[in-house]
C-alpha cells in the first residue's frame, strides 16, 4: 500500500513538473480585439496625440525616417519594436493572429510568410489606395493580394539577384575577371543554367582548389523561383512534385547532376560563413541584401566582385512588406505612416544609407539608387546592376498553401546529397516525396 501511494505521489510530482513545459503558453499583449467594431477614425492630419507601434526585424533602416516623420507630425509618437531575428517577428505576428489581439499598429512581414498571412487576410486592413496603385511591379503586389483582390501589404525592399564572384580565382582558372566580360561569358541577358554549369566545368578543370559554387541548396532557391508553379498547381493548389515531369523534379535532376562543382557548404552554417574569407568557391548567387552579408563575413577579402547576370534569366529572393492589422486603434494613421515609409523617396533614402534595395518602380530608377557604388566590390555600380536585375524580374512563382514546407524539404533533399552525402540523388528524392506526402 505504502509503495503504491508513494508511486502515485511521485507520479503526481513528476507530472506537475512535466506539465509546466509540455503545456504551451501563448503570449498575449494589448488585448484589443479586431472584431470590436470600427476603430476610432484618426487621420495623420488630425492633431490628436497618438502613439503608433511598429514592429520590424533585422534592419529596415527606419531610424532617421521615424525622426523626420515625428517632426512633420508633432502629434504622432512612433514606438519602434525591433525583433532581433525574423523568426521572432514571425512568431509574434502569428501569435497575434492566433489570439486575435493587436499589439502593433504596423507589422513587417517577410515575403516567405505572406502565403500563410494571406489566409488570415481578414485580420489585416486593405492598404491599397489610388495613391499607391502602380507603385510596385505587379509581381510584388500580387504576393500581398488575397484571392478576393484585397491588398494587405505595402512592399518595402526586394532581392533582385546578380552573381557575386571571386576575381582572383577566375584569373587563376584563366577566365575573364572584368564584370562586364564575366556577364557576357555566362550569356548576358540570355544566360542559362547549362551555360553556368559548363563554365563551371571549365573552372573546375583548371584545378584551382576552389569549387564553382557554394551548395546546391543555394542554387535551388534561384532555380525554383524561376518556375511559374514550382511545387503546386495554380489552378487548384494541389501538390505536383510527385509527377514525373514536374518542374521541381527537373530542377532537382539538373542540380544533382552537377554536384561535382559544389563546395558542399550549406548556406548559413559556420563553415559557409567562414568560407567567404578563404578560397572555397568562386561564385555565389547574390540578391541585393547578400552583398552586405558577404562583406560582413569576409571584410578583408578584397577579390569579391559582382556581375550583372544570373543563370536562367532573373529572379527575386526575399523582400518584405508592411501590414496594418485591421483591429488597431489608429488604423488610418498607421496606414498613412506605412504608405509614407514605402513611398519611393523614402525607400531610395534607405537604400543609400543601409543598402536595402527598394521594390518601387520609381525608386529603382531614382538617381540616388542608380548612382550608388560599393567600395567592397571594387567600386562596382551596385545600384545600377541591381536596378537592371530588378527590371528583368518578370514574374514570381506561385506559392500555394504548402510552399514553405515543400521548399524546406526540397532544400533538405539537396543537402542530403550535396552536403551530408548520406543519400544518393534517387534515394533522397524518394525521402522528399515521402515527407511531402505527410504534410497535412
Partner 1 sequence: MATTTELEISPPVGDHRRRPPSRLRQKLGRFDVKASPYIYISPFFILFAITGLFPLLYTAYVSVSKWNLLTGRHGSAGFANYVAVLHQPFFWKAMRNTVSIFLLSSVPQIILALVIAAVLNANLRAKTFWRMGVLVPYVVAPVAVGLIFGQMFADQSGMVNALLVKFGMNPIAWHAQVLPAHIAIATMVNYRWLGYNTLVVLAAMQAIPNDVFEAAIIDGASRVRQFFSVTIPMIRPTLLFVIITSTIGGLQIFDEPTMFDQQNGALTAGGADGQFVTVTMYLYQLGWGSQNNLGRSAAVAWLLFLVILIISLINYGLTQRIASEGGPARGRKRRKKVSA
Q: Which is nearer to partner 1, 21 or 367 (CB)?
A: 21
Residue closer to partner 1 by CB (options 17, 257) is 17
Contact in structure between 125 and 115 (CB atoms under 8 Å): no
- Shortest Cβ 85–partner 1 spacing (Å): 8
Q: Which of 91, 205, 242, 257 binds partner 1 (CB under 8 A)?
A: 91
Candidate list 24, 38, 367, 426; residue touching partner 1; CB under 8 A: 24
The verdict on 345 binding partner 1 (CB under 8 A) reads: no
The 367-406 contact track toward partner 1, x by CB under 8 A, reads -----------------------------------xxxx-
Would you count residue 59 as binding partner 1 (CB under 8 A)? no
Q: Site residues for partner 1, window 226-285 (CB under 8 A)?
A: 265-271, 274-275
- The yes or no reply on residue 7 touching partner 1 (CB under 8 A) is yes
Q: What is the C-alpha to C-alpha distance for residues 1 and 5, in angstroms, rounded to an integer?
A: 6
Grid cell in block for residue 399: 506559392
Residue 415 binds partner 1 (CB under 8 A): yes
Beta bridge partners of 195: none
Length of the chain: 440
CB of 82 to partner 1, least distance (A): 18
User: Given the complex with partner 1, which of 133 and 274 has the nearer CB atom?
Assistant: 274
Cα→Cα distances 249→160, 187, 227, Å: 25, 25, 12
Closest CB to partner 1 among 396 and 415? 415
Q: How far is the CB of 348 from partner 1 (least distance, A)?
A: 27
Between 75 and 273, CB nearer to partner 1: 273
In angstroms, the CA 289 to CA 320 distance is 12
**What is the C-alpha separation between 330 and 42, in angstroms, rounded?**
6
Among residues 338, 286, 265, which one has the least CA distance to residue 55?
338
Stretch that binds partner 1, among 16-24, 28-36, 42-50, 54-62 (CB under 8 A): 16-24
Q: How far is the CB of 45 from partner 1 (least distance, A)?
A: 34
Q: Which of 50, 52, 89, 97 is in the footprint of partner 1 by CB under 8 A? A: 97
Q: Choose between 41 and 277: whose C-beta lies nearer to partner 1.
A: 277
To the nearest whole angstrom, how small is the minimum distance from the Cβ of residue 400 to partner 1? 11
Q: What residues contact residue 340 under an 8 Å CB cut-off, 6+ apart?
A: 69, 346
Among 25, 36, 47, 190, binds partner 1 (CB under 8 A): 25
* Cell numbers at 251, concatenated: 530542377
Q: Which of 109, 348, 419, 436 binds partner 1 (CB under 8 A)?
A: 419
| Residues whose CB falls within 8 Å of the CB of residue 130, separated by 6 or more in sequence, listed in order | none
Q: What are phi and psi of 417, to 5 degrees?
A: -80, -45
Determine contact, residues 78/70, Cβ cutoff 8 Å: yes
Check: CB of residue 125 under 8 Å from CB of residue 330: no
Q: How many other β-carbons are positioned within 10 Å of the β-carbon of residue 94?
A: 14
User: By the 8 A CB rule, do 164 and 283 touch?
Assistant: yes
User: Which of 129/424 has CB closer to partner 1?
Assistant: 424
| CB 358, CB 347: distance < 8 Å | yes
Nearest by Cα to 186 from 212, 210, 160: 212
- For the bound state, the minimum distance from the C-beta of residue 98 to partner 1, rounded and expressed in Å, comes to 5
Indicate whether 133 belongs to the interface with partner 1 (CB under 8 A).
Answer: no
Q: How many other β-carbons are positioned within 10 Å of the β-carbon of residue 92?
A: 19
Residues that bind partner 1 (CB under 8 A): 7, 10-11, 13-25, 87, 91, 94, 97-98, 115-116, 119-120, 217, 265-271, 274-275, 402-405, 408, 411-413, 415-416, 419-423, 431, 434-435, 438-440
Amino acid at each position: 500500500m505504502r509503495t503504491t501511494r508513494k508511486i502515485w505521489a511521485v507520479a503526481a510530482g513528476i507530472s506537475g513538473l512535466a506539465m509546466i513545459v509540455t503545456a504551451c503558453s501563448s503570449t498575449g499583449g494589448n488585448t484589443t480585439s479586431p472584431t470590436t467594431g470600427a476603430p476610432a477614425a484618426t487621420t495623420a492630419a488630425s492633431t490628436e496625440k497618438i502613439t503608433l507601434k511598429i514592429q520590424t526585424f533585422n534592419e529596415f533602416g527606419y531610424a532617421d525616417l521615424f525622426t523626420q516623420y515625428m517632426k512633420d507630425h508633432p502629434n504622432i509618437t512612433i514606438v519602434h519594436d525591433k525583433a532581433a531575428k525574423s523568426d521572432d517577428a514571425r512568431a509574434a505576428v502569428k501569435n497575434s493572429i492566433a489570439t486575435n489581439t493587436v499589439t502593433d499598429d504596423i507589422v513587417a512581414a517577410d515575403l516567405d510568410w505572406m502565403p500563410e498571412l494571406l489566409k488570415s487576410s481578414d485580420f489585416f486592413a486593405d492598404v491599397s489606395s489610388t495613391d499607391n496603385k502602380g507603385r510596385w511591379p505587379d509581381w510584388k503586389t500580387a504576393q500581398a493580394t488575397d484571392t478576393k483582390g484585397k491588398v494587405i501589404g505595402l512592399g518595402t525592399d526586394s532581392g533582385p539577384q546578380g552573381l557575386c564572384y571571386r576575381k582572383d580565382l577566375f584569373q587563376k582558372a584563366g577566365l575573364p575577371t572584368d564584370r562586364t566580360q564575366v556577364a557576357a561569358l555566362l550569356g548576358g541577358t540570355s544566360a542559362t543554367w547549362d551555360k553556368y554549369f559548363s563554365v563551371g566545368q571549365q573552372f573546375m578543370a583548371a584545378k584551382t582548389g576552389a569549387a564553382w559554387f557554394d551548395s546546391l541548396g543555394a542554387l535551388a532557391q534561384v532555380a525554383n523561383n524561376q518556375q511559374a508553379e514550382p511545387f503546386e498547381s495554380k489552378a487548384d493548389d494541389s501538390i505536383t512534385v510527385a509527377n514525373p515531369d514536374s518542374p521541381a523534379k527537373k530542377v532537382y535532376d539538373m542540380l544533382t547532376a552537377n554536384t561535382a562543382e559544389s563546395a558542399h557548404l550549406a548556406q548559413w552554417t559556420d563553415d559557409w560563413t567562414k568560407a567567404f574569407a578563404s578560397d572555397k568557391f568562386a561564385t555565389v548567387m547574390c540578391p541585393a541584401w547578400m552583398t552586405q552579408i558577404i562583406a560582413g563575413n569576409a571584410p578583408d577579402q578584397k577579390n569579391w566582385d559582382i556581375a550583372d547576370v544570373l543563370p536562367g534569366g532573373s529572379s527575386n529572393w526575399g523582400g518584405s512588406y508592411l501590414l496594418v492589422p485591421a483591429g488597431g486603434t489608429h488604423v488610418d494613421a498607421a496606414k498613412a505612416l506605412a504608405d509614407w515609409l514605402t513611398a519611393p523617396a523614402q525607400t531610395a533614402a534607405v537604400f543609400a544609407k543601409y543598402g536595402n534595395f527598394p521594390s518601387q518602380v520609381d525608386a529603382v530608377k531614382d538617381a540616388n539608387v542608380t548612382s550608388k557604388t560599393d567600395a567592397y566590390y571594387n567600386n562596382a555600380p551596385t545600384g545600377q546592376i541591381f536596378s537592371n536585375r530588378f527590371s528583368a524580374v518578370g514574374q514570381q512563382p506561385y506559392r500555394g498553401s504548402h510552399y514553405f514546407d515543400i521548399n524546406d524539404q526540397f532544400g533538405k533533399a539537396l543537402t542530403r546529397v550535396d552536403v551530408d552525402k548520406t543519400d544518393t540523388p534517387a534515394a533522397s528524392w524518394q525521402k522528399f516525396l515521402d515527407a511531402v506526402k505527410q504534410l497535412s
